[in-house]
Structure 1
Amino acid sequence: MNSLEDVELNLPMDTMSILNKFLLEKEERERKEQDRILAKTGTSSMFEEDWQLSQFWYSNNTRTALGKVVKKLLGPDAQVALLSCPSLYKTIKDMHDHVRLFEFDKRFSIFGDDFIHYDFNEAFCEPEYFIHHTAIYDIIIADPPFLSEECITKTAHIIKKLMKPCAKLVFCSGEIVGPWIAKYLYLKPYNFRPEHERNLANEFVCYANFNIDELL
């Protein structure tokens, strides 16, 4: 396999310049991101997507739309849980104090007590956070990272543990997982389509246990 140096030697000068500029900008973004983590600040900042974790941030229109839905559902003491959708955190936090972000990526620990580290693979191992978070959430929005039955099954188990009996549930995921969502969570698809800052190949759908279209 050619080394990075070999590849660089074979690139035209203008391409090399673009590549170097990209790498420098990426390094600067990562440095600033690390500074925010160390300083425990920057709750309003947007992190870089980590594609290895299948992270894709919502578009501004989608964040606004989901924020509108949550606002209409909120009661004064409502507890809101966001599962694997960190780009929605600031939108919801700006309107309501009782928000928890369940997320595998520990960069989001800068959100302090609002951050709950979780791994959907541990769903059936009774993770420690179940002790304090079982059946306390009135509104849950979930967007699991993978379009597989295993991921949907385990995420569904976690959701059932976290939600109150009459909780409102919004599940954003690919159209392909619809049968599994219907099977494990009994949710219906609605017309609202979540969008991302980067156009994804998979068609995304919003599933819910209430008519979300009426609130938009």
Structure 2
Amino acid sequence: MSDSDDDPPQLSAAAMAALQEFYTEQADEDRKLKEAQTGKLEDFTPQENWQLSQFWYDEATATRLADEALRVVGSTGRIACVSSPTLYRKLRDVKPDNCTVKCLEFDDRFQVYGEDFQFYDYREPLKLPADWKNSFDIVVVDPPFLNEECLCKTAITVRFLAKDKIILCTGAVMEEVVKKLLNLKVCVFQPRHSNALQNEFRCFTNYDSELLDKS
């Protein structure tokens, strides 16, 4: 055994740079989270957690969906954003004061939004406040996983929350399951994400929407 075998392992320059970048991003996110907790919510922009299947909408998509939701509910309606925190953040910025928007999300980083946040696990689809039953004028939902089990359980949540209108964004491969479970139709508008994804995503509704029926 040579003397060098007793030395601690050394990372390559590329690995060190990648590790440093990771630490820098984590430190920046920790700083933003602390600022959000002290009231600077406009600066709270968490990194996507791919282990939670998180993919944030791009600005154009968040804006289009927010405009449509507000068009439906007006200035005093109720909107539920299920597994769609980037839409919640956009709505928070643009909604009228008397419009209620709730963020139903598994990621507890979004607790910084206080009473607007509701912990949500699609595996327990009805673990929600009892008085939320059929209380939302529109439910906008983006199931975290592209599989039938996730969509089935999320559909239970949607039917519990919605008075009537639903917008659902998910992979195009789920179209037949979406129609079967919730009787939604595909729209012309296609959601896009800030980090380009290989999967084609589509938007579905149970009502006619001029804003979503154009590209």
Q: How far, CA to CA, are the matches of 1:130 and 1:24 in structure 2?
A: 38
C-alpha distance after superposition, 1:29-80 (max 9, x if no partner): 2321441354354255211111110011000110111122123212232110
- SS of 1:168's equivalent? strand
Give SS of 1:196's match.
Answer: coil
Q: Which residue number in structure 2 is paired with residue 170 of structure 1?
A: 167
Give ranges in structure 1 of 5+ residues lacking alignment.
none
| Structure 2 counterpart of 1:201, one-letter code | Q
2:111 corresponds to which residue?
109
**Separation (CA, whole Å) in 1 of partners of 2:124 and 2:19:** 40
Structure 1 length normalisation: TM-score? 0.86
1:99 corresponds to:
101
Question: Pairwise mapping of residues 68-83 of structure 1 onto structure 2 (< 5 A)?
Answer: 68-83=67-82
The Cα of 1:20 is off from its aligned counterpart by 4.3
Aligned partner of 1:208 in structure 2 is 205
Q: Do structure 1's residue 120 and structure 2's residue 117 form an aligned pair?
A: no
Change (3 A) 1:73 1:38: closer
- 2:5 maps to what in 1? none
Whether 1:185 and 2:187 are equivalent positions in the alignment is no
Cα distance between partner residues in 2 of 1:90 and 1:31: 18
C-alpha separation in 1, matches of 2:63 and 2:124: 31
Match of 1:24 in 2: 23
Letter in 2 for 1:184: L
1:135-150 residue pairs with structure 2 within 5 A? 135-150=134-149
Aligned to 1:156: 155
* Letter in structure 2 aligned against 1:182: K
User: Counterparts of 1:29 and 1:92 in 2: how far apart (Å)?
Assistant: 24
Query: In the alignment, residue 145 of structure 1 is paired with which amino acid?
Result: P
Name whichever of 196-205 and 65-74 sits farther off: 65-74
For 2:81, give the aligned amino acid.
L
How is 1:127-138 mapped onto 2 (pairs within 5 angstroms)?
Answer: 127=127, 129-138=128-137
Compute the RMSD of aligned alpha carbons: 1.9
Question: What secondary structure, in the 3-state scheme, does the structure 2 residue paired with 1:197 have?
Answer: coil
Equivalent pair of 1:82/1:142 in contact (CA under 8 Å)? yes
Q: Secondary structure at the match of 2:44?
A: coil
Q: TM-score, normalised by structure 2?
A: 0.86
Structure 2 alignment gaps of length 5 or more: 1-7
Q: Percent identity?
A: 32
Q: Aligned with 1:121: secondary structure?
A: coil
Look up the equivalent residue of 2:198 and give its one-letter code: A
Q: Give the alignment of 1:42-61 within 5 angstroms.
A: 42-61=41-60
Q: Who is 2:4 aligned against?
A: none
Larger-gyration structure (1/2): 2
